[in-house]
Copies of this chain bind each other. A is one copy, B any other.
Amino acid sequence: MVNTTLKKISEILGVSISTVSRALKDHPDISTETKRKIVELAQALDYEPNINAINLRTRNSKVLGLMVPSLANSFYDSFMSAVEAASMKIGYALVIMQSGDDPEVERNILKIYKQNRVSGIFACLSPHTADIEAFQKLKDLDIPVIFFDKVPQEDNCHKVCIADESASEQAARVLIAKKKKNVLAIFGNKNLSITKSRLEAFLQTLSNHSDIKLTIGHAHSSQEAHDITSAFFSEPQKPDAVFCMSDEILTGAMKAFQELKINYPEETGIIAMSDGYFPKLYHPEITYIETSGYKLGDLAFSMMMTCLNGNNNFNQKLSIDAALVEGGSI
């Protein structure tokens, strides 16, 4: 069977296509009686407008693109969840595609978005993306791009991020306040800008506290975080606090805690940066600096709305503040 169209309805009722179109939009010109008949028939025939025809005619689509390295990541999931919910609320559909951290796939995704004439794009870059020219070109077509989380260095673009510096500064302040003296701090991949900014602010905050012995580790996986933790707690001088830059690192460290039967917060404290899901899995719950994917999603979406409403000529980086959530682990 084929979809109901305005033409079909107009033929059955013996009116013109434009009358049907107007009636269905509740146009004031159309008489109540005609309107009633048309709306009734449309309902009976399960009429749904063909979005493709509308987009073609009106030259704008209610579709947004969202490009992300991987769908299987709880931070991005909450980001997407927020964006999807907000989009649906205003009648936009979201086309989500994963790049697998491959710049070539990224270019391909961009092409698909262009072909689909999306109204805007949310993009989280792969660490290997050197060149954002393809993104910049979209400006000429009035397609706004909001970069999130992993954003480019360039200034002339829109980006939203976690306030990394402030967040890891807060974590460092907790360590100071709790009078920790021998801290193991585990960060992620050195090449990621997110690692760099978190590490830098962390060191900066602790720089005038020479009484704190600080050991920095870099883990590329949960397993590596486990191994690092394990190694340091086998030494005679055990750390009295562990800092974890991310959920991935936290789960690795906690597995080591369980393995070595380390009691926290008594024997040692632990603090993390997280969106809050994993810290609540443990008992006692982990104290963490909250970096919420939901909030970031909301922020990105409102920036998108600003662009879509024509205020496109600002180049701005917005950050969301992180807050300390006490769990009792330090």
Contact B283 A49, beta carbon cutoff 8 Å: no
Number of this chain's copies in the assembly equals 2
Segment of A16-24, A74-82, A150-158, A300-308 in the binding face: A74-82
Supposing A80-B71, A81-B71 touch, asked if A50 and B93 sit within 8 A by C-beta, the answer is no
Inter-chain CA distance A97–B256, complex, in Å, is 38
With an 8 A cutoff between CB atoms, is A137 at the interface?
A: yes
On whether the beta carbons of A281 and B74 are closer than 8 Å, the reply is no
CA distance A111 to B51 in the complex (A): 11
Residue in B73, B97, B115 whose CB lies within 8 Å of A88: B97
- Taking CB atoms, residues of chain B closer than 8 Å to A259 are 283
> Which single residue of chain B is at the shortest CB-CB distance from A53?
B56
Asked if A55 is at the interface (CB within 8 A of a chain B CB), the reply is yes
A13 to chain B, nearest CB (A): 22
**Which of A52, A85, A281 is most buried by chain B, counting CB atoms within 10 A of its CB?**
A52
A:119-149 near B, CB below 8 Å: 137, 140-142
- Pair A117/B81 contact, Cβ less than 8 Å: no
| Residue in B closest to A46 when the chains form the complex, CB atoms | B137
Max chain B Cβ within 10 angstroms of own Cβ: one of A73, A93, A95, A137: A93
In the complex, which residues 68-117 of chain A have their Cβ closer than 8 Å to any Cβ of chain B?
Answer: 70-74, 77-78, 80-81, 84-85, 88, 93-98, 100, 105, 108-109, 111-112, 114-117
Chain A positions 20-51 with a Cβ under 8 Å from a chain B Cβ: 46, 48-51
**If A1-B141, A98-B81, A140-B1 touch, does A52 touch B46 (CB 8 Å cutoff)?**
no
Residues of B within 8 Å of A117, CB to CB, are 3, 50-52
A267 to chain B, nearest CB (A): 14
Q: Are B97 and A94 touching (Cβ within 8 A)?
A: yes
- Chain B, Cβ-Cβ closest to A100: B85
- Count of chain A residues with a beta carbon within 8 Å of a chain B beta carbon: 55
The smallest C-beta distance from A197 to any residue of chain B, in angstroms, reads 26
**A84 near B72: Cβ-Cβ < 8 Å:** no
CB of A282 within 8 Å of the partner chain: yes
Interface assignment of A311: CB less than 8 Å from any CB of chain B: no
Judged by a CB distance under 8 angstroms, whether A258 is at the interface is yes
A114 to chain B, nearest CB (A): 5
Q: Does A270 reach chain B (CB closer than 8 Å)?
A: no
CB distance from A222 to the nearest CB of B (A): 8
Neighbouring B residues of A3 by C-beta, 8 Å:
117, 141
A255 in the interface, Cβ–Cβ < 8 Å? yes
Do A51 and B283 form a contact, CB below 8 Å, given A77-B77, A96-B94, A96-B96? no
21 contacts between A and B (CB under 8 A): A1-B140, A1-B141, A3-B141, A46-B137, A48-B111, A51-B116, A52-B56, A52-B61, A52-B117, A53-B56, A77-B77, A81-B98, A84-B97, A85-B98, A88-B105, A251-B281, A254-B281, A255-B281, A258-B282, A259-B283, A281-B281
